[in-house]
Structure 1
């Protein structure tokens, strides 16, 4: 097989893997991990079960790949919009977070509560998501990810509150998402003001949401 053929094979493999992940995102959007068997997944995807094992090794590997892919854009889009004011980037980060939770409720609950089972792989995904969100908020507020310990603790506390509020909201779907976003942005504003008082090196950005 020449280089061109190898490249074509690799590209087809990547496309097929992406298609399987896209199918999985739809299946797991509102269905729990335990409710779907590999036979169910293969039937919905229109492929042999062995193909899923080939790409992802196991059901859990498949699910974690879906979760990681779904969350990849959660913080990347608002964090990458450098032309927007800091306050607007922060607001969009929160809105994107809530949209993801609303449209991928089963996956969101798994990430926050460890619904697949408490093991090192699941914990690593959950921790990575939290770390990236905290880093994105810090970058949006201060233009950097490396912040003093007190500032980090404050944002970790805010993030824990976000998870609790979001889980409660998903259980009732009231108030609407705009109202929840406003609540969380106000809580973030209070957190950033508190950080500024305790850490003068981290002033709250002007126009903080």
Structure 2
């Protein structure tokens, strides 16, 4: 239903849940055009056709609004990169990485801004990033037994290191793609078995560092 406010502007009446989701979606769209810290509450309110005060009815502060934008993107990324359980383990891993690379490539500036921008040092943002990484680590580790790899504490730690490796190399590749997309995916796919096999191998089976 649309109502007309005192300025003559039509405003669609939404439920609280729908309005909150609309505001977050507008923030996500704006993030494709500018860094997170430059997303203006006034601009969001104008686009939504609501008052600035109404926006703060749904979010305690501009900072809280920004955190919810990042949380939304993190959830979306996890959903879009969910493993295809019908595939064999390596094909499943490749499919997840293909989806991940495609997702962040389509949102290059957004991805780099989130992980390397001013918000990356904020404790609340960091908590969202850590929750996302933990979810990625847990679901990756859950499929390792299919490769005959026992998920020990060392293996779990190795998977976490692999996630950090993929994040860091993805940002570098997005900034300066010195290898092709397929070569990059091959690198990321091949790195996981190499890391977890070493982490899960008996000490006697690991070549001595010289």
Say whether the fold is shared (TM-score over 0.5).
yes
Name the counterpart of 2:4. none
- Distance (whole Å) between structure 1 residues aligned to residue 79 and residue 192 of structure 2: 19
176, 179, 190: which is aligned to 1:172?
176
Tell me which structure has the larger Cα radius of gyration. 2
115, 123, 126: which is aligned to 1:112?
115
- Distance (whole Å) between structure 1 residues aligned to residue 137 and residue 163 of structure 2: 7
23, 26, 31: which is aligned to 1:23?
26
- Distance (whole Å) between structure 2 residues aligned to residue 81 and residue 194 of structure 1: 26
- Distance (whole Å) between structure 2 residues aligned to residue 136 and residue 28 of structure 1: 28
- Distance (whole Å) between structure 2 residues aligned to residue 76 and residue 119 of structure 1: 24
Q: Is the 8 A contact 1:90 1:141 kept in 2?
A: no
Q: Secondary structure at the match of 1:116?
A: helix
- Distance (whole Å) between structure 2 residues aligned to residue 36 and residue 109 of structure 1: 15
Judging by fraction of residues, say which structure has more helix.
1
- Distance (whole Å) between structure 1 residues aligned to residue 153 and residue 198 of structure 2: 14
Structure having greater relative contact order (Cα 8 Å, sep ≥ 6): 1
- Length-normalised TM-score, structure 2: 0.75
- Distance (whole Å) between structure 2 residues aligned to residue 198 and residue 76 of structure 1: 36
125, 147, 153: which is aligned to 2:151?
147
Contiguous gaps of at least 5 residues in structure 1: 1-10, 200-209
- Distance (whole Å) between structure 2 residues aligned to residue 167 and residue 196 of structure 1: 28
- Length-normalised TM-score, structure 1: 0.76
Instruction: Spell out, residue by residue over 1:68-107, the C-alpha distance to the aligned partner (whole angstroms, 9 max, x if none).
Output: 1122132345546322322222222222322332233344
After superposition, the CA RMSD in angstroms is: 2.6
Name the counterpart of 1:195. 199
Name the counterpart of 1:70. 73
Instruction: Spell out, residue by residue over 1:7-26, the C-alpha distance to the aligned partner (whole angstroms, 9 max, x if none).
Output: xxxx8222222222222111
Q: Is the 8 A contact 1:111 1:126 kept in 2?
A: no
